[in-house]
Amino acid sequence: MAGEGAFEVEGVIVEVMGNRTFRVELANGHRPLGFVAGRKSLPALGAGDKVRLVLSPYDLSQGRILVGQVPSPSPDE
C-alpha cells in the first residue's frame, strides 16, 4: 500500500481461504486477512509459510501480502 503510515509486519499463514486470500497469524496473536494483489500468477503459498504483510493504520483487519521481494544484499557484498 502506497498510503502514508502503512507498515510491514511478518506473520505465518494459518489458513488458505481461496480466491487469493489467506488468514495470517502475527507474532502478537492477531489474525488479519492477507491477500495477494495484482493479476500475476499466484505464488505457491500454503499453511505454515512465512510472509510479510502491509497493513494500513486505519484498517488492521486486512493487508496485502508482499510476494517476490528481493532480499537486500549483505553489507560485505
Q: Residue 10 corresponds to which amino acid?
A: E
| Confidence at residue 18, expressed as pLDDT on a 0 to 100 scale | 83
| Confidence at residue 58, expressed as pLDDT on a 0 to 100 scale | 92
Q: Considering Cα of 45, then 32, then 3, then 5, what sign does the dihedral take?
A: negative
Q: Look up the pTM and report it.
A: 0.75
Domain 7-66's class?
Answer: mainly beta
- Alpha-carbon distance 13 to 50, whole Å? 6
- Alpha-carbon distance 24 to 1, whole Å? 17
Calculate ∠ Cα 47-53-73, nearest 5°.
Answer: 100
| All cell numbers assigned to 26 | 502475527
Query: Counting every residue, how long is the chain?
Result: 77
Domain boundaries, the chain: 7-66
| Confidence at residue 20, expressed as pLDDT on a 0 to 100 scale | 86
Per-residue pLDDT of the chain (77 residues; tens, 9 = 90+): 456 889 999 999 999 998 889 999 999 999 999 998 776 666 788 889 999 999 999 999 999 998 754 444 556 65
